[in-house]
Chains A and B, each alone.
Chain A
Amino acid sequence: MQALYAQLLVGLINGSFYALLSLGLAVIFGMLNIINFAHGALYMMGAFCAYFLLNLANIGYWPALIIAPVAVGIFGMILERTLLRWLTGLDHLYGLLLTFGLALIIQGIFQNYFGSSGLPYSIPDALKGGANLGFMYLPIYRGWVVVFSLVVCLLTWYLIERTRLGAYLRAATENPTLVRAFGINVPRMITLTYGLGVGLAALAGVLSAPINQVRPQMGADLIIVVFAVVVIGGMGSIMGSIITGFALGVIEGLTKYFYPEASNTVVFVLMVLVLLVKPTGLTGRAN
């Protein structure tokens, strides 16, 4: 029984990465209509950015938590301005393909310069150690990750769903020309949104640097799972992807306990089931 609590908690921790990543994907999909295949690569860049800050500029974890997402976010905005911009109005497919290409390039370049086994990054001193909760040993850093990502997720949700911005963004996805004709600078808004989504990915990257090896491949396989999370939650649904992110972490955690061999597949099985029953995802808007 105690072991089960432990698994639930661990699942929740994992879920916070899913939530952050799928949130970024959902923001980008919901607003730009782009399936951002480069998300995994940008997540990886976030982690690398933290590493560079530490090793080249001697800037530690805490500032990196802000600097890295901003830096990678700016990089994302440049990508949007120079490349993705040209795809407005085209089918989803092209966005998917372009970002897929970008992912290959970014990953390839990092691979060439930093090898495949990756680089070390350790837990900041303030968050070292752990607490014995009775049923499990909880590393403090993990606790921090859950709390922090929950806060970030809710802030993002508030920004997009509870301010006018959200309505603008959703409308702009459907008919950017008309929204622009209402007096809204749609291109700038889209650039900033992409920056936001990318920044969230980078943030997840920084958070994961102390627990996962900082490797060029670190995002490549994760991204497919995160896609599944977004689809289950309902593409473009902000709250949906947050909740599904956490929930899937937990479900995966339980699977790891009861039938670990299936823990990688469970999310895909769920996705197929959900889509068959509710095609727009659990909380997706009908369209």
Chain B
Amino acid sequence: MADLKMVETAAAKSAAVAAAGTPLLSVENLQAWYGESHILHGISFNVNAGEVVTLLGRNGAGKTTTLKSVMGIIGKRTGSVRFDNQEIIRASSDKIARLGIAICPEERGIFASLDVRENLMLPPVVRSGGLSLDQIFDLFPNLKERLNSQGTKLSGGEQQMLAIARILRTGARFLMLDEPTEGLAPVIIQQIGHTIARLKSEGFTILLVEQNFRFASTVADRYYIVEHGKIIDGFSNSELQANMEKLHTYLGV
């Protein structure tokens, strides 16, 4: 359990970082429940426009739940989630999506009744500026080859690629990727790393959840540590070395 002091310093730090720009997403005292079990106990963090921020934490800490709460797909949630200066804690997920937030879920969410092309084309374009199909096939050549297979007939890794690819098309500026490297071959992981870097350079903002710390460290600007439904620490990439010790205790890296 994080003691109070730690939380305070963490919050102070993140506030300091946030001050550098206007936060695109700011989450404050977010609480969330699955049925009657209380999962998030007051999450607070910010993501600035153009940043890559990574949530780290043990299995079951509440990282996925945080992303889902921002997306509006957790039944009961309280607190404040502001995106682009708009309060969205009460909004329905289709509205949130239309504001330009897109999620690549942990379980991938490939549709069995749709073929690969349909899966890819499924999310409606919410604004211009998304990747074109050619750009996508450049990134993930596997997909082009299997375009007419049934979505869930793809290999595990191919499904992961598809899940990422389809939200790149939509033009959403704020992407939430839940463990995008899970089950991917090292070559592809490198590719995804490049993709994230490129997206960032093109002005996308990315909120990442990762178990693969090594990978995260190659792309992230800042880190937050989630434990037992709270943010217990946060630091930027430059402070990484200094925090390795702590990271070890948090994550066992």
Contact = CB atoms under 8 A, between A and B. Distances in A.
Nearest to A184: B94
Contact of A184 (B71, B111, B113, B124): B124
Interface of B: 71-73, 92-94, 96-98, 102-103, 105, 109, 111-114, 118, 121-124, 126, 150, 170
A167 interface: yes
A236 B112 CA distance: 13
A181 interface: yes
A1 interface: no
Nearest to B95: A183
Contacts of B121: 164, 167
A183 B111 contact: no
A114 B120 CA distance: 53
A182 B73 contact: no
A183 B122 contact: no
A177 B105 CA distance: 11
A182 to B, nearest CB: 4
Contacts of B71: 181
A174 B111 contact: yes
Contacts of B73: 177-178, 180-181
Contacts of A181: 71-73, 93-94, 96-97, 103
Contacts of A171: 111, 113-114, 118, 122
B113 A170 contact: yes
Contact of A183 (B97, B105, B114): B97
Nearest to B167: A182
Nearest to A181: B93
Shortest 8 CB-CB contacts between residues of A and residues of B: A183-B97, A182-B123, A170-B113, A178-B109, A181-B93, A171-B111, A167-B118, A183-B98
A132 interface: no
Nearest to B117: A167
A183 B150 contact: no
The majority secondary structure among interface residues of chain B is loop
Nearest to B125: A183
The majority secondary structure among interface residues of chain A is helix
Interface string A153-168: 0000000000010011
A191 interface: no
Contacts of A112: none
Nearest to A188: B94
B101 to A, nearest CB: 9
A175 interface: yes
A186 interface: yes
A180 B111 CA distance: 14
A173 B94 CA distance: 16
Given A182-B170, A183-B123, A183-B124, A174 B113 contact: yes
Interface string A105-137: 000000000000000000000000000000000
27 contacts: A167-B114, A168-B122, A170-B111, A170-B113, A170-B114, A174-B113, A175-B111, A177-B73, A177-B93, A178-B73, A180-B73, A180-B94, A181-B73, A181-B94, A181-B97, A182-B94, A182-B102, A182-B122, A183-B126, A183-B170, A184-B94, A185-B94, A186-B94, A236-B113, A285-B113, A286-B150, A287-B112
